[in-house]
Amino acid sequence: MQNIEHLLKIDKDSVWHPYSAMTSDLPVYHVDSADGVRIKLSDGRELIDGMSSWWSVIHGYNQPEINHALENQMKSMAHVMFGGLTHTPAIELTEKLLSITPEQLDAVFYSDSGSVSVDVAMKMAIQYWHAKGEAQRQRFISLRHGYHGDTFGAMSVCDPETGMHNLFSEAMPKQLFIEQPQCRFGEECSEDDIAPLKKALVEHGEHIAALIMEPIVQGAGGMWFYSADYLKQVRELCNQHNVLLIFDEIATGFARTGKMFACEHANVAPDIMCVGKALTGGYLSLAATLTTKEIHETIDNAEPGVFMHGPTFMANPLACAAALTSIRLLLQSDWQENINRIEQGLAQGLLPCRKLSQVNDVRVLGAIGVVELVEPVDMKDIVPQFVDAGVWIRPFGKLIYIMPPYIINDDDLSFLTNTIVKIISNM
C-alpha cells in the first residue's frame, strides 16, 4: 500500500475538492476508517463527527444492517438500467417513501443527487404547465438566502447575491426572488413577512411555474429557522394563484427537524417534493422527486407523452437497498424521542454561547444546532482547532453548526457542544 504522504501529495497536486482551489492551503485530512460517530484519521486521531458527512449519515458509519443489505444486493445485481426494466429494491423503496410522505404524493422519480432532484422538480413543473396549455409559465419564485444545489437549474433558484453561484448569473435562467421570512420558528407569521410573496404572485403569477423553498429550515444559505405559520400561508397563496409548490426536503427530511419531514410542522403538503442526503443513510448517492397524480397524469396525457428526463444510474439497486434499510431503521427506532433528546442536548450545550460577544445568535431545532457569529470564521485557523480538539466540524461564513448522527450519545454530544463553546470563547 502506498504511504500516506505520497497519497496526500497526489491529493494536493491533482484532486479538486468541493468549494476549494487547487492551490488552497486549507488542510485536508486523510480518513482511514469510520465507525459509529467517529472518523479515524490515518495519523491515529479519532474525531467525533458533528456533520453527519454533510447531514446524510444519520445512523452513523459502518452500520451493520445497511452493510448486510448491500452485501446481499451485490450478490444479485449491483446495477441495471431503469429504462424498460425494474427491480425489487426500487419498487419496495417507492412503496415505503409513499407511505411516509404527504398523502397527496403518489409517484416517485429517482435521480443521483439532491441537486439533480431539484432540476427534475423544476422540469416537471415546466412540463406540467406546458401540458396544460400555459407554456408561458417558465419562471420560479424562490426565497433569498435559500440553497438548492449546484447544477444549473438548482443554482438558478439559489440566492443570486449572497449565494455561492452569482458569478454564473448571466448564464442562468432569471428567477424571481423574495425576502426570506423574519418570523422565527415558533412565532406567528406577520403581514410584513408574507407581503413579498403576495406581491410577487399578483404581479408575476401568470408566468410562474412554481414556488420552490426549503420548508422551515433554510440550510446552506444561512441555517435560518422560520415560522410554520409562514408555510401555511404560502400553501394557501399558491392555491389561490394556481401556482405549484415545491418543497426541497433534501436537508430537512428523515427526522432532522423533529418531524419526519419539515413540512409536517405546518401540516401542509407540496405538489412536488425533493428528498436526498439522508435517504440512504449516507452510504450512496440517491435522491427522489415525488409528485401528485394530477401532475404526472397531466404530463403523460400531452405531447410528447413522457417526462423528459432519465439518469443513467436512476434507481440504482444498491442505493435503493441502502435507502430502504435506512428508512426501516429510522421507523423502527423511537426517533421522535431520540431527536428530542438531541435537541435538548444541543440547546443546553450551546446555551453559554449566547453570552459571548463574538456570537450574534444561537438557534436549535431538532438535531440541528447553529451558532451565528458576528464575524466570518477563518477556516485555516478554526478547522485545525476543532480537529486538534477531537471533533469534526466544518463551519462556513459566520456559522458554526452541527448536525450529528442520530446515534450520538449524550457524552459525545456534550463533548461537541463544549468544544464549540471553548473554541469560540477563545476567538
Catalytic residues: 19, 147, 248, 277
Rounded distance between C-alpha atoms, residue 110 and residue 93, angstroms: 10
Q: What is the Rg, in whole angstroms, of the alpha carbon atoms belonging to the chain?
A: 22
26 class by beta-carbon count within 10 Å (0-12 exposed, 13-18 middle, 19+ buried): exposed
pLDDT at 258: 98
Q: Where are the beta strands (DSSP E) in 113-238?
A: 139-143, 176-178, 208-213, 217-218, 224-225
Residues with Cβ within 8 Å of 75's Cβ and at least 6 positions away in sequence, in order, are none
pLDDT at 273: 99
Cell for 263?
Answer: 413540512
Q: Which architecture does CATH list for 77-332?
A: 3-Layer(aba) Sandwich (3.40)
pLDDT at 281: 98
pLDDT at 162: 73
Cell for 408?
Answer: 450520538
For residue 132, the 8-state DSSP code is T
- Tens of pLDDT along 183-237? 999 999 999 999 999 999 999 999 999 999 999 999 998 999 999 999 999 999 9
Give the pLDDT mean for 380-390: 97
Residues with Cβ within 8 Å of 426's Cβ and at least 6 positions away in sequence, in order, are none
- Tens of pLDDT along 71-92? 999 999 999 999 999 999 999 9
- Tens of pLDDT along 41-54? 999 999 999 999 99
Classify domain 4-62+334-425 at the CATH topology level: Aspartate Aminotransferase, domain 1 (3.90.1150)
Average pLDDT, the chain: 96
Please provide residue 215's backbone torsions phi and psi, each rounded to the nearest 5 degrees: -70, 130
pLDDT band at 170 (very low <50, low <70, confident <90, very high): confident
- Tens of pLDDT along 253-275? 999 999 999 999 999 999 999 99
Say whether pLDDT at 1 is over 70. Answer: no
Coil/strand/helix, residue 220:
coil
CA distance readout (Å), 403 to 51, 310, 345, 407 = 5, 32, 12, 12
Give the pLDDT mean for 101-125: 98
**Helix segments in 29-113, DSSP class H:** 52-55, 64-76, 88-100
Q: Where are the domains of the chain?
A: 4-62+334-425, 77-332
Cut 0.95: pTM above it:
yes
Amino acid residing at 157: V
Strand order in the sheet with 38-41: 31-35, 38-41, 46-49, 391-392
Rounded distance between C-alpha atoms, residue 326 and residue 92, angstroms: 13
- Tens of pLDDT along 397-408? 999 999 999 999
Contact 327, 156 (CB under 8 A): no
Residue position matching grid coordinates 401528485: 292
Q: Do 4-62+334-425 and 77-332 share a fold?
A: no
Say whether pLDDT at 164 is over 80. Answer: no
